[in-house]
Amino acid sequence: MDSTLSRNPLPQVITYLAAMKLKEIAQKLNCELRGAANVEISGLAGIEEAQSNHLTFVSNPKYFRLVKETKAGAIILGPDGPETSIPALVSQNPYLTFALAIELFYSPPEPIPGIHPTAWVAETAELGDDYSIGANVVIEDSVRLGKRAVIHPNVTIYPHAQIGNDFLAHSNSVVREHCQLGDRVILQNGAVVGADGFGFAPREDKSYYKMVQSGRVVLEDDVEIGANACVDRATIGETRIGKGTKIDNLVQIGHGSRVGQHNVLAAQVGLAGTSHIGNHVMLGGQVGIAGHLTVGDGVVATAQTGIARSVKPGALISGTPEMNSSLWKKNYILMHDFPELVKTIKRLSQEVEELKSQQTEQTKI
Amino acid sequence: MDSTLSRNPLPQVITYLAAMKLKEIAQKLNCELRGAANVEISGLAGIEEAQSNHLTFVSNPKYFRLVKETKAGAIILGPDGPETSIPALVSQNPYLTFALAIELFYSPPEPIPGIHPTAWVAETAELGDDYSIGANVVIEDSVRLGKRAVIHPNVTIYPHAQIGNDFLAHSNSVVREHCQLGDRVILQNGAVVGADGFGFAPREDKSYYKMVQSGRVVLEDDVEIGANACVDRATIGETRIGKGTKIDNLVQIGHGSRVGQHNVLAAQVGLAGTSHIGNHVMLGGQVGIAGHLTVGDGVVATAQTGIARSVKPGALISGTPEMNSSLWKKNYILMHDFPELVKTIKRLSQEVEELKSQQTEQTKI
Amino acid sequence: MDSTLSRNPLPQVITYLAAMKLKEIAQKLNCELRGAANVEISGLAGIEEAQSNHLTFVSNPKYFRLVKETKAGAIILGPDGPETSIPALVSQNPYLTFALAIELFYSPPEPIPGIHPTAWVAETAELGDDYSIGANVVIEDSVRLGKRAVIHPNVTIYPHAQIGNDFLAHSNSVVREHCQLGDRVILQNGAVVGADGFGFAPREDKSYYKMVQSGRVVLEDDVEIGANACVDRATIGETRIGKGTKIDNLVQIGHGSRVGQHNVLAAQVGLAGTSHIGNHVMLGGQVGIAGHLTVGDGVVATAQTGIARSVKPGALISGTPEMNSSLWKKNYILMHDFPELVKTIKRLSQEVEELKSQQTEQTKI
């Protein structure tokens, strides 16, 4: 393993590009341009913060009303977007075009090619070409790493991990032994892939015996794991995160779970062991899922939902335990009058009692 | 401190053992064997995933019905287990036996003896025999470490920490100054033992003054702390985790808390400061406990429970704030008809009003 | 960059000071002393744990009753504090005085001046005077660091970060590229400042396109970030934490959020992207805040509150979604009788039905 210092002693340049004319941006983003082609744009901003040198966007009809008030120099909008007096770029997907526009104005510091002299790469590790291995990185025995890996300082890759091309690992992230990562996987800082699952066998004296966690984690292509998030290895077999699924910070994925493709798990979500999640699922922040159950394709759970039973595809759910979101909202509103309701019921009980006794009286008559 | 490189340049062997005959497994696990002794077993699997070369198990009567359908080559079950046509190993504790069986087929990569050349061990640190200190580990002044410590890369142990025998610390875990750890303590990746408690004194101008956190953390024997979990040091005195207690990933233990023995705290549980938890307690995922209260022995709290008051021993609780689980479930089911209920009450109010006015009429008559 | 070893090979002294006489403590803390001036005090303790050699305090009238029973050698209390037979120090702010008293008896291990030989500091980084840079620390290109920085082992500071004076970073914490930190900022172990925000643009095929996170994080003066907590960089612009705000362990601050001054965010709180929080706000443990909303000055949210809408200044809120805390408590108590209530309503329905039919009968008569 070549461990020669190949780091550039010069400062990294902050790659804020100079201002561009709108027509140039339109060309690069492949958008139809409406209005003044020569507006100078020097950056991007949200529709409410934008100034005359900014390009902004509008996608959600909910915000169309803000277009009249924006101070932006130009706006990205859809073919069915609102009327506007400012120059516009027309896109089938304004939000995606906005994302691409950011890349015209900013890119993160360039990774420094080579292996930093303080990094430790085991002799038995195999690295693809064009890597950037940062300071104090540790790559252990028999690791296999694809091309163009960018590994920031203080990352640890345990023995026998197998990782695809274009791996990006931020500082303090970890890939544990035998785990398998596809292409273009991103680990944010402190992400832990493959720590031991939480598996213990109770003994007769009520103490717990630690079960060796013999399984591994598989992250398919294009998965991103957020800062300090954890994906536990399986007791036996594997924990699998499907292609394109994005996992936010501080999320917990329990051992043996199977998460499908192109899901979005917001911060602090927790999946107990052996959860099975379909594709295109969206879990809001702090959602919890009990173990050994199945969440169908396209399910959306609002923040803090506690999923205690399997959920059918396409359901929109809320509450702990979960229920249909619209019922949950209705109940929430009604709960504001709950104390009054209880009083009403007490009053009704009395009144009915009185009515009954009066009726008895009358019947006697 | 001996800092000689004693690392093996050869690849670690993946220790999946070759297939074994069932009779050999029965012998090693000390189980009675029923049925064909010569079945070849090459690994373990859950009852639904198992194939003909796998050993599986059944423990919970809830899953007895699956025994008829399993494709497993053999099964571990209890003396009162279900009838089965496949070869069986009989155990008093099938789940524990299954845990032991895993160890026949898999063991994690062997730690490399010695101190890695990139590790830093302070001269004043005392290490017991037979250690494995990984790359870039930092062991600071006056640390005392027992025998057979296995410390993975990028771990930091602050000054004056005292740690027992058979310590296992995964990469990026931390033990802060003056903390005390018993024997056989395990820290998963990124676990933090002894960070400052969240203690601030409000000043007259509504700003906060940081209180020096002079206390420490004590982890008793056989405690395991999950990945990126945090156990805060006490402001004064100690935060203590009792013998055999297992703490899952991303759990927060507030300063000055006392957690008893053989508890199980699932992922993302949070204990505010000065929580007192008994023994044999089970807290489900994302449970929160307010500070300055007591949770009795044997309490079970289901996932996401918010414990706001002290809880008597043996209680089974749910909800925020907590209540008896069976009441909570009953309420949950009834809440599905809550909008109907509210309508019914409104209707009843009207009807009672009418009845009253009619009765008044009749009385007049 | 000077990388000479300047570490002291001698063990750090545990700085528990010897016992002090109460009059000496009174003098140092600038308090009026009532009672025996010569009591020997060797440490501090809570009012229930304190022994005769301890100084304790009482601040909250709720605990005044404990003063009669305490075994403490002396007590800090307010001018309107309870009667006591033990020696007392009188303070306008007993809790703050207690905090200051801790510092008389304990201080953490002294940082070792200089740069540890295993640390890596880029040539283009600028460091203020009097630093302590620990083992395996990585400080990358063009970082600017103020005076008196104390950086513990395995910390990574990415290129172009700008950090004020008196920075304290515990092991494994991270400051990402371009982030700006004020004076006296503290990062506990594993804290991540500036990881990528969770921003993805949906494509037509339902996959997600990662948006470059071009913004940064700004932490103003006197901010503290807890262990393994995460403050995400903004997609564009900045995520900002106001002066003096204290953030506990495992908290998530979403991209583009603005958190005001002197707030207290307890452990495991989660803020979705673009949350706007005022000043002097207190969020209990595991509180969640949905994105794109505003929480006014002085709001207090109890633990596990789920804030789904903007909240007016000064509100005291609870529940998911949030409601007025007193209503929420009332409902909680009433829910204990909910099954009975439902039965009552069913009974009433029947009785009213009977009354109606009887009345009809009578009317016929």
**Any bridge partners for residue C74, and if so which?**
C55
- Closest CA in chain A for residue B357: A355
Could you tell me which residues come within 8 angstroms of residue A153 by beta carbon, excluding any fewer than 6 positions away? A116, A134, A135, A136, A137, A171, C120, C138, C140, C156
**Beta-carbon separation of C250 and B270 below 8 A:** yes
Task: For residue C285, give the nearest of B237, B270, B337 by CB distance.
Answer: B270
CA atoms within 13 A on the CB side of C47: 22
**Beta-carbon separation of C228 and A228 below 8 A:** yes
Q: For residue A346, is pLDDT > 60?
A: yes
pLDDT at A362: 72
Cα distance between the two ends of chain A: 108
pLDDT at C184: 98
CA gap B343, B66 in Å, rounded: 45
CA gap C323, C334 in Å, rounded: 16
Task: For residue C335, give the nearest of B252, B308, B331 by CB distance.
Answer: B331
Q: Which chains contact C through at least 3 pairs of Cβ atoms less than 8 Å apart?
A: A, B
Task: For residue B352, give the nearest of A330, A351, A359 by CB distance.
Answer: A351
3-state secondary structure of A187: strand
CA gap C157, C169 in Å, rounded: 10
CB of C60 closer than 8 Å to CB of C124: no
**Beta-carbon separation of B268 and A272 below 8 A:** no
Residues of C in contact with B321 (CB under 8 A): 332
**Beta-carbon separation of A106 and C212 below 8 A:** yes
- Could you read off the pLDDT of B21-79 as tens digits, one per residue? 999 999 999 999 999 999 999 999 989 889 999 999 999 998 999 999 999 999 999 99
CA gap C195, A341 in Å, rounded: 48
Q: For residue A6, is pLDDT > 80?
A: no
Domains and CATH numbers, chain A: 20-105 (3.40.1390.10)
Q: For residue B312, is pLDDT > 80?
A: yes
CA gap A219, A244 in Å, rounded: 9
- Closest CA in chain B for residue C184: B210
Banded model confidence at residue A12, pLDDT cuts 50, 70, 90 = very low
pLDDT at A339: 96
Instruction: Decide: pTM greater than 0.90.
Output: yes
CA gap B228, B191 in Å, rounded: 4
* Mutation site, C56, C186, C249, C320, interface B, largest B CB count within 10 A: C249
- Residue A290 phi, psi (nearest 5): -70, 160
Residues of B in contact with C300 (CB under 8 A): none
CA gap C308, B307 in Å, rounded: 22
* Mutation site, B228, B251, B252, B345, interface A, largest A CB count within 10 A: B228
Banded model confidence at residue B5, pLDDT cuts 50, 70, 90 = very low
Task: For residue C156, give the nearest of A109, A152, A348 by CB distance.
Answer: A152
Could you tell me which residues come within 8 angstroms of residue B346 by beta carbon, excluding any fewer than 6 positions away? none
Number of C-beta neighbours around residue A128 at 10 A? 16
In the chain, the amino acid numbered C150 is: V
Tell me what the mean pLDDT of segment A291-296 comes to.
Answer: 94
Q: Which chains contact B through at least 3 pairs of Cβ atoms less than 8 Å apart?
A: A, C
Residues of A in contact with C201 (CB under 8 A): 93, 95-96, 98-99
pLDDT at B16: 54
Looking at CA atoms only, how far is residue B25 from chain A in angstroms? 17
**Beta-carbon separation of B352 and C356 below 8 A:** no
Query: What percentage of chain B's residues is helix, strand, coil (to nearest 5)?
Result: 20, 25, 55
Number of C-beta neighbours around residue C285 at 10 A? 29
- Could you read off the pLDDT of A167-178 as tens digits, one per residue? 999 999 999 999
* Mutation site, A1, A236, A335, interface B, largest B CB count within 10 A: A236
**Beta-carbon separation of B266 and A272 below 8 A:** yes
To the nearest whole number, what is the mean pLDDT of chain A?
92
**Beta-carbon separation of B140 and C153 below 8 A:** yes
pLDDT at C4: 30
Instruction: Return the ∠ at Cα A67 (arms to A66 and A68), rounded to 5°.
Output: 90
B and C: number of Cβ contacts within 8 A: 217
**Beta-carbon separation of A99 and C344 below 8 A:** no
pLDDT at C291: 87
Q: For residue A358, is pLDDT > 90?
A: no
Task: For residue C288, give the nearest of A92, A285, A335 by CB distance.
Answer: A285
Residues of B in contact with C102 (CB under 8 A): 211-212, 214, 235-236
Banded model confidence at residue B19, pLDDT cuts 50, 70, 90 = confident
From B116, B152, B255, B276, the catalytic residue: B255
pLDDT at C11: 30
Query: Which residue reads 């300055």 in tokens?
Result: B292
Looking at CA atoms only, how far is residue A244 from chain B in angstroms? 24
Residues of C noted as catalytic: 255
Residues of B in contact with C320 (CB under 8 A): 320
Look up residue B119 and give its two tokens.
Answer: 């590790």
Residues of A in contact with B356 (CB under 8 A): 351, 355
Q: For residue A57, is pLDDT > 70?
A: yes
Banded model confidence at residue B3, pLDDT cuts 50, 70, 90 = very low
Number of C-beta neighbours around residue A206 at 10 A? 12
pLDDT by residue for chain C (365 residues), tens only, comes to: 333 333 333 333 334 567 899 999 999 999 999 999 999 999 999 898 899 999 999 999 989 999 999 999 999 999 999 999 999 999 999 999 999 999 999 989 999 999 999 999 999 999 999 999 999 999 999 999 999 999 999 999 999 999 999 999 999 999 999 999 999 999 999 999 999 999 999 999 999 999 999 999 999 999 999 999 999 999 999 999 999 999 999 999 999 999 999 999 999 999 999 999 999 999 999 999 998 899 999 999 999 999 999 999 999 999 999 999 999 999 999 999 999 999 999 999 999 999 988 877 776 65
Tell me what the mean pLDDT of segment A147-156 comes to.
Answer: 98
- Closest CA in chain A for residue B269: A270
- Closest CA in chain C for residue B254: C267
Looking at CA atoms only, how far is residue B88 from chain A in angstroms? 20
Task: For residue B237, give the nearest of C49, C188, C285 by CB distance.
Answer: C49
Look up residue C184 and give its two tokens.
Answer: 């006296």
pLDDT at C306: 97
- Closest CA in chain A for residue B99: A211
Task: For residue A334, give the nearest of B96, B224, B338 by CB distance.
Answer: B338
**Beta-carbon separation of B93 and A308 below 8 A:** no
Tell me what the mean pLDDT of segment B99-125 comes to.
Answer: 95
**Beta-carbon separation of A249 and C236 below 8 A:** no
In the chain, the amino acid numbered A125 is: A
**Beta-carbon separation of B160 and C345 below 8 A:** no
Three-class SS string for chain C?
CCCCCCCCCCCCCCCCCCCEEHHHHHHHHCCEEECCCCCEECEECCCCCCCCCEEEECCCHHHHHHHHCCCCCEEEECCCCCCCCCCEEECCCHHHHHHHHHHHHCCCCCCCCEECCCCEECCCCEECCCCEECCCCEECCCCEECCCCEECCCCEECCCCEECCCCEECCCCEECCCCEECCCCEECCCCEECCCCCCEEECCCCCEEECCCCCEEEECCCCEECCCCEECCCCCCEEEECCCCEECCCCEECCCCEECCCCEECCCCEECCCCEECCCCEECCCCEECCCCEECCCCEECCCCEECCCECCCCEEECCCCEEHHHHHHHHHHHCCHHHHHHHHHHHHHHHHHHHHHHHHHHHC
CA gap B188, C143 in Å, rounded: 31
The ipTM value here is 0.93
- Give the DSSP per-residue string, A247-314: E-TT-EE-TT-EE-SS-EE-TT-EE-TT-EE-SS-EE-TT-EE-SS-EE-TT-EE-TT-EE-S-B-TT
Tell me what the mean pLDDT of segment A143-163 comes to.
Answer: 98
The dihedral sign for the CA sequence C286, C309, C234, C199: positive
pLDDT at B161: 97
Residues of B in contact with A122 (CB under 8 A): 9
Is residue C87 reached through a cis peptide bond, with omega within 30 degrees of 0 on the bond before it?
A: no
From A54, A152, A178, A255, the catalytic residue: A255
Tell me what the mean pLDDT of segment B345-362 comes to.
Answer: 88
Q: Which chains contact A through at least 3 pairs of Cβ atoms less than 8 Å apart?
A: B, C
- Could you read off the pLDDT of A195-221 as tens digits, one per residue? 999 999 999 999 999 999 999 999 999
In the chain, the amino acid numbered B18 is: A
* Mutation site, A58, A115, A228, A361, interface C, largest C CB count within 10 A: A228
Query: Which residue reads 């069932």 in tokens?
Result: B22
Residues of C in contact with A262 (CB under 8 A): 206-208
